[in-house]
Amino acid sequence: MDENLEKTILVVDDSESNIDMILAILKAYDVIPSTSGEDALALIKEESVDLVLLDILMPGMDGYTVCRKLKSQAETRDIPVIFITAKTDEESIEKAYDIGGADYVTKPFKPKELLARVKVQLKLQNVIRELDFMATRDSLTGIYNRRRFFQLAEQMYAEASDDLYAVMIDIDHFKRVNDRYGHHTGDDVLKSITRTISRALPKPSLFGRVGGEEFAVLLKTGGQTRAMEVVSLVQQKVNETLINIGENLTISCTISSGVACKQEETATLDCLLREADMALYKAKEGGRNQSIFRDV
């Protein structure tokens, strides 16, 4: 499949003839047309958009206002915006960049120039996404790394008044796997168990690797009973996972979990995670392959 077809570009211009021209130039991409700023903002809530081509002079909501709204929202602020307009004065160009525009193309369009500028912004966006992934994800498992987990967890903790549960998870006897089969197999086990846990957790849950074979989860579930059901399902799915480590050879692992709920007396995120970690210690001390709720 042509990778361009996987890129979606929203074109916002009140002139249908301009939109038709852009559609012809960007025929290699998935292009969504819009003839007003209001419609564009509604569309972008429903569609996954990689780039916006935005006219400045439009009746009703102008392009500057649309761009400001896009840049003010977390869901859309990182989408690059290329302004398309007949205005060529320095003040208009400066304003376009000041409010968050990534580039500026003047009318009438030069097809090769427009196409080149679109390609540059899409490539730059790919590089930024890759760098962000490398900075925030665990290189082995692909889930959030410790630093990013705690950043997002602090925000989730601050926004949750109640029904917030922390789960600390540890792979039982993981050192034995490394000692017996080698670290390469240990890596395969970590990746396999991580995938299994990710699929079993409800959305949205925050899941990160915080140590060698230790993971942390924050989730809202609707009560302690439901939280423990989720943790029990995760444990069951891990138990059922067969990990291929060689020709006709598979192994399975178990996990231990500690669970704690945010209470009025829970002062900080660290306190909540510490409570879950204490419950995890009890689960391991009590024989492993089990989940314990920290009742404080």
Kindly list the catalytic residues: 213
Please, what sign has the CA dihedral across residues 292, 290, 205, 173?
positive
Residue 120 exposed, middle or buried by CB count within 10 Å (0-12, 13-18, 19+): middle
Contact (Cβ atoms closer than 8 angstroms) between residue 12 and residue 32: no
Residue 32, beta-bridge partner list: 10
Give, in order, the Cα–Cα distances in Å from 257 to each of 30, 66, 131, 280, 289. 45, 47, 32, 5, 8
CA 40/CA 52 separation, integer angstroms: 9
Q: Decide: helix, strand or coil at residue 290.
A: coil
